[in-house]
Amino acid sequence: MLLLVRTAWPAPMPAPAPAPASAPASVRAPTAASARPSLKAPTGLPISLVAQSSEIDYRNNDLVFRKVKISQGTMSVSADLAHANGLDFQNSHWVFRGNVKIIVNQGELSSDDADILFADKLLARASVSGNPARFSQVDPASHRQVEGHARQIDYDVRKGIIKLAKDAWLTDGQNEISGETLKYNIAARSVVAEAADQSAHRVHITITPPPAHKP
């Protein structure tokens, strides 16, 4: 059984109408396709790597970089330390440590550590952890800051899904939702909280009505 919360931010989240027992409670509002934000990495662009120092073992395909920044168009990943199993980015696994910052188009992830997979020379997946790890994005429709934090954040670039786990919290600058685990769909601008992922925790939603318009 799912506890499903959908909201087309920045519209306030109204209380859900009663739903049949077989269906999850939901609140949904349409979102114009032109206003949908994107965190997808750019395609077909060269990748640049700049580091303060490097240790490259070609025999064992083992690479270490310090004070490193990887860039591709508007995408970038920077950290104090990076360890990788390949430099071609065709199918390589990277581990970043210390002051990790991932910037993709309109969004940003910051954390203590990150585990990143590059596939076909593109950022495919990022898993970041911190105390807490943070996510932020400017909503192009409202120009408000969408922000979230949790001890673990998984970002599936191809699906456009950000999963916040372990003390998850998310806000659109007006409304807030918190729980053990939250899934944020970037394109649909919707939040899903599955009951099975909440453990003993409950999902909390704070709805702030917009200010009344003066006549």
> pLDDT (tens digit, 9 = 90+) per residue, 79-138?
999 999 988 888 899 999 999 999 986 689 999 999 999 999 899 999 999 999 999 988
pLDDT level of residue 31 (50, 70, 90 thresholds)? very low
Q: What is the Cα–Cα distance from 75 to 78, expressed in whole angstroms?
A: 10
pTM of the full structure: 0.75
When pLDDT is averaged across residues 140-148 and rounded to a whole number, the result is 83
Place of tokens 């073992």: 57
The residue type found at 204 is H
Instruction: Flag whether pLDDT at 34 surpasses 60.
Output: no
3-state DSSP assignment of residue 142:
coil
What local confidence, expressed as pLDDT, does residue 38 receive? 47
162-201 per-position pLDDT tens digit: 999 999 999 988 889 999 999 998 878 888 888 777 777 7
Stronger pLDDT, 10 or 108, i.e. the higher one: 108
Q: What is the Cα–Cα distance from 95 to 13, expressed in whole angstroms?
A: 38
What local confidence, expressed as pLDDT, does residue 128 receive? 97
Architecture of domain 3-206: Sandwich (2.60)
Instruction: Flag whether pLDDT at 148 surpasses 70.
Output: yes
* Torsional sign, CA 134, 197, 124, 175: negative
Q: What is the Cα–Cα distance from 47 to 73, expressed in whole angstroms?
A: 8
Average pLDDT, the chain: 79
pLDDT level of residue 13 (50, 70, 90 thresholds)? very low
What local confidence, expressed as pLDDT, does residue 203 receive? 87
**C-beta separation of 6 from 137 below 8 A:** no
